[in-house]
Structure 1
Amino acid sequence: MIDALCAPELAPIVDLVVWADEDGEPYAANHLGSVRFRYQGGAEVLSGTNPLGSEDPMAFLPYQQELANPSPRVSTENAYPLAWQRLRSFFADPERSPDLAIVHTPRHFFPDEGGHVGEHGSLDAIQSRAPLIMSGAGVKKMGYVDAFARLVDVGPTLAFLAGVPAMDLVDANGQGLDGRVLRDHLEPGGGQRRHVIGMLWDGAHCGDLLHLAETGELPGVARLIANGLALRGGAVAEFPSITLTNHTSILTGTGPGRHGVMGNVYFDRATGERVVPNDQSTWHLSADWLRPSARTIFEMVAKHAPGGDGTVRTASVDEAIDRGADYATMALIRESGESGADALDDALPDPTTSPYLRDAAYLEDSYFRWGVRVDDFGITQMSALFSNPGSAPLLTWWASVVTDCGHHGGGPRSDMARDALRQSDARLVTFLDHLDSIGLSDQVTILLTADHGFEGSDPEVIGSWKAALDATGIPYRDEGPGLVYLL
């Protein structure tokens, strides 16, 4: 099957095929050759020539280098950071990990199978690079820093800042997390309790976000960086670089092989069920698919924060992975007894009257229209949670979605994507001004990130690998598409 997928005629759409052996060691192959990944980086060539350009997490920096080579045409011109760690985790779940995964080329356009103008999901650097900005109390003022982190580092850092001792940054079995506290960017005493806010702008393109902040087009983001730092290399997403896998990785500090959410769609061999957690009808139940050993940062903080008197210690705004939060938007859906987003439809504002909307023409895109409504509801919830300093949560996670809508609809650096970034920035400015007005700004730490990056597809690069899989005669199911389970 791997040989069939590595046929030269599939090279325009198949970037890599990845899998793991019985010991969990990861491999990759394409039409050029095959390699085995090593823990310290560097791939051992097994056949042909090395199909990988590099494994450098800082590839395509400074930003001008990315602009000069957008959506690389061949894998030897691309970079695949931290491949060993990410793939080893991805293939570690014996019941939910696929037997192999097919990585789309950056330019592959597959609208008939759920693809978009802007795409993510790859192992490569740009689709895996999320922004990482830290600001406020306990954070060093370093400005733009030539460094990178991992998205699994975000959760432990937020929990530590909210007062969880380093020794208790463990899963439910007492095992250490995959992520680490980003101590190099914190002031001494960074673990002292304060109000901690994690913000996720879904799919926000790291390079363009930082570029727009530097050129004055995102004043809210620039304000955060002036009071803290931004990592040029951002934070490397877990594989696949898609939504629910990385929301869960952030909020548990573990990779998919431990938390169990292998993708937005995957197969569970133990139950024989196709799992679709990233859907409006199911995402309020997403935490149900977490492995028993997984522990969210809301649960970590609750163990160390007094409560039980109705106090909102932790809050989860517009986030699917909300287990353990005292306040959660998804809990409102669960309590309603209705299915999915329909339960809150009446609560979502009219997007045509949004004070944050820039170009009303984008409302013709149904996903973008919905994203404006959700994010306007998000700022309303945040304002209520921070109505006064005495009732503000200790730890808050605030997810926004319109940035994903804009990047899917138009691709990175498009007018649509930048409209979404400017929109989100305007909401951020509103919230920062609100913190100033209640005198809480000096007591708040903010971390802004995303769940993945984005690259632009090419409408002329189309095709499917289904015929090649079918021709092998091996029974299989292809979820995603790209996650192949042998039957």
Structure 2
Amino acid sequence: MSAREIAEALTRPHLAHIVDLVAYPEPAGTVVVHGQRGVVRLFTGERHEVIAGSDPLAVTDPLAFLPYDRERANPSPPNASNAYPEPARRLLSFFADADRSPDLVVIHTPSHFFPDEGGHAGEHGSLDVIQSRAPFLLSGAGIPPAGRVPGYARMIDVAPTLLRLAGVDDPGALEGFEGQAVEMMDEVPSRRVVGLLWDGAPSSELLALAAEGELPAVAELLADGSALTGGAVAEFPSVTLCNHTTALTGVGPGRHGVLGNVFYDRARGERINANDESTWHRSAEWLRPGVRTVFERLARARPGSRSVCVNEAVDRGATTSTMQVVRALGDTPGSSVTDFLPPATGSPHLDDRYFAWATRVDEAGLAQVLREWADPATAPYLTWWSTVVTDAGHHAGGPRSPIARNSLRDADRRLGIFLAHLDAIGLRQQVTFLLTADHGFEAADPGVTGSWRPALADVCGRLGVTYRDEGPGFVYLNVE
């Protein structure tokens, strides 16, 4: 079997510093995972069957490395001391798309530094708990002020929770979710709901900075609400477009079809780069038949209710969205959305290109949110507001770096402006907030470099197999 032989070649000792795991599906509906310490077969229901050696996914605790001091003391841990929440469910979903799922996936070690292949000082994408841990905070109308609450949610739970917060109980609007609403709320239906996604904001760091007074707006939300200490477990891979899509559809990548930021579609014969400013506005094209966004579900349950989607690719069904503007600009020759963004000011990190661009995007997003909430009489029923600068800061410096912490402060400042606006128009007490992210972050080690691609080329050459390595890490076999 080609996948097994390739997995064995890529988990040899000389690649142990850069390859954590290699996984591939079996026809029987299971997934086999190879690591340095052994091989395991995963079944639905999280049953593990060790095939050889010891289980490389033996620890699955979603609350591992808590409290936060433990995470800080164990940066980018190796496999033997790491944790991998719900690995069977997440990997089975990842491999469920016959056209788009790769034949096997190679998972970087948390410390792997690979800037020559798209890597950064701060990394995400892994199956492990820290890269998968996004925040999950509910606040405002209908939410008891319980502060930090032990437990965790999942990214597939975000969409049903948003609708539950909005008082939606139409069975037709709620069917088909893989997740479920997180029950941290009182029975107060038909509220206005604001979903906040701070891209890449690490859960424990966010809560720690809020407690230290560094993020006063988040601290306000926490004082009026509850946050799960284990946050929300991202789908695999723990990358942007996969989890933005999961958050707003309530299903995993095997259902919604956005396997990652970059993937290959066998049916189209096309490489799809979903995480690019030239393609974000096309996200509806990647969604699989039958998948509905939270905006479409809300429209079915409450016809005529207004929804707003800000700085978010997954906007299908929203009454108003940033991507609608981008699509309109696409019809104007010579126009680029970047041409219409406000200037980047007020940050000491504008020499970083991604950070500067993200600052401009987020300033435009704040302006759009304030416009949409200018009149209390027409305020939207559901608002989804995505923030980009937090991802830029953590990629640039890694978690806990000055640029990463300043990116969180930037996002908090904009949130504070919005909260003050809600107070000014008298709507603050009528709004419920859900704050999350799409993944967490770990620091790469500049001394841990290298690539598995020579080994992949060697073993595939010996087997006479053609392949594509997208990502890198998504390996499609017998594809030119």
TM interval, shorter chain, is: over 0.9
> How far apart are 1:448 and its partner, in Å?
0.5
Offset at residue 39 of structure 1 (A): 3.8
The partner residue of 1:146 within 140, 150, 155 is 150
Counterpart CA distance in 1 for 2:57 and 2:8 is 18
**Equivalent of 2:102, from 98, 103, 117?**
98
For residue 444 of structure 1, report the CA deviation from its aligned partner: 0.4
Asked whether the equivalents of residues 24 and 91 of structure 1 are also in contact (C-alpha less than 8 Å), the reply is: no
Q: How many Å separate the matches in 1 of 2:295 and 2:405?
A: 32
Alignment partner, residue 60 of structure 1: 65
> Matched residue of 1:45: which SS?
strand
Distance 1:222 1:421 in 2: 13
**Count of paired positions:** 469
Does the CA contact (< 8 Å) of 1:163 and 1:301 recur in 2?
A: no
Paired residue for 1:179? 179
Q: Aligned partners of 2:282, 2:33: CA distance in 1, in Å?
A: 34
1:383 pairs with 358, 362, 370, which one? 370
Can you list the C-alpha shifts for 1:3-25, whole angstroms capped at 9, x where unaligned?
11111100000000112111321
**8 Å CA contact 2:45, 2:89 repeated in 1:** no
* Residue matched to 2:266: 269
| Residues 143, 185 of structure 2: 8 Å contact kept | yes
Query: What is the 5 A alignment of 1:37-436?
Result: 37-41=42-46, 43-72=48-77, 74-165=78-169, 167-170=171-174, 176-183=176-183, 185-187=184-186, 189-190=187-188, 192-307=189-304, 313-337=306-330, 343-352=336-345, 357=346, 359-360=347-348, 362-436=349-423
Find the counterpart in structure 2 of residue 439 from structure 1.
Answer: 426
| Aligned equivalents of 1:341, 1:284: Cα separation in 2 | 17
With over 3 angstroms needed to count, the CA separation of the structure-2 counterparts of 1:216 and 1:88, relative to structure 1, is same
Match for residue 3 of structure 2?
Answer: none
> Match for 1:479 among 463, 470, 476?
470
Q: Distance in 2 between matches of 1:26 and 1:410?
A: 34
Describe the superposition over 1:340-367 as per-residue Cα deviations: whole angstroms up to 9, x where unpaired: 9963223311112xxxx3x42x111110
- The Cα shift of 1:31 comes to 2.1
**Structure 2 portions without partners, runs of 5+:** 1-5
Aligned to 2:30: 25
Q: Distance in 2 between matches of 1:448 and 1:340?
A: 37
Q: CA deviation at 1:52?
A: 2.9
Give the whole-Å Cα distance in 2 for the aligned partners of 1:448 and 1:342: 33
Check if 1:34 corresponds to 2:39: yes
AA at the equivalent of 1:245:
C
Amino acid in structure 2 at the alignment position of 1:111: P
- 2 CA distance for matches of 1:283 and 1:176? 25
Deviation of 1:324 (Å): 0.5
Residue pair 1:123, 1:240 contacting (<8 A) in 2 also: yes
Q: 1:227 to 1:340 in 2, by over 3 A?
A: farther
Q: TM-score, normalised by structure 2?
A: 0.95
What is the letter of the counterpart of residue 167 of structure 1?
P
Matched, 1:10 2:18: no
User: Which is worse superposed, 246-255 or 152-161?
Assistant: 152-161
Shift of 1:168: 2.9
Structure 1 unmatched ranges of 5 or more: none
Give the aligned residue type for 2:376.
P
2:133 partner letter:
R
Q: Which amino acid aligns with 1:63?
A: Y
Counterpart CA distance in 1 for 2:438 and 2:332 is 25
The one-letter amino acid paired with 1:118 is G
Distance 2:35 2:164 in 1: 42
Letter of the aligned partner of 2:439 in structure 1?
A: H
Distance 1:485 1:180 in 2: 33
Q: CA RMSD in A?
A: 1.5
Query: The residue matched to 1:420 in structure 2 has which SS?
Result: helix
1:108, 1:462 within 8 Å by CA — same for their partners in 2?
Answer: yes
The 1:324/1:65 distance shift into structure 2, 3 A limit, reads same
* Cα separation, partners in 2 of 1:260 and 1:425, compared to 1, 3 Å: same
Which piece of structure 1 moves more, 157-166 or 398-407? 157-166
Q: Deviations over 1:230-265 (max 9, x none)?
A: 111000000000000000000000000000000000
Aligned mates of 2:329, 2:221 — CA distance in 1: 37
SS at 1:351 equivalent: coil
- TM-score, length-scaled by structure 1: 0.94
Q: Does 1:466 align with 2:472?
A: no
Q: Go from structure 1 to structure 2 and tell me whether the alpha carbon gap of 1:341 and 1:246 turns closer, same or farther (over 3 Å shift).
A: farther
Taking the aligned partners of 2:418 and 2:130, their CA distance within structure 1 comes to: 29
Letter in 1 for 2:68: Y
Give the letter for the 1:397 counterpart: W
Q: Between the two proteins, what is the percent identity of the paired residues?
A: 55
CA distance in 1, matches of 2:204, 2:388: 18
Pick closer, same or farther for the CA change 1:40–1:118 going to 2, 3 Å: same
Structure-2 change in CA distance of 1:340 and 1:133 (3 Å)? farther
How much has 1:53 moved relative to structure 2? 4.9
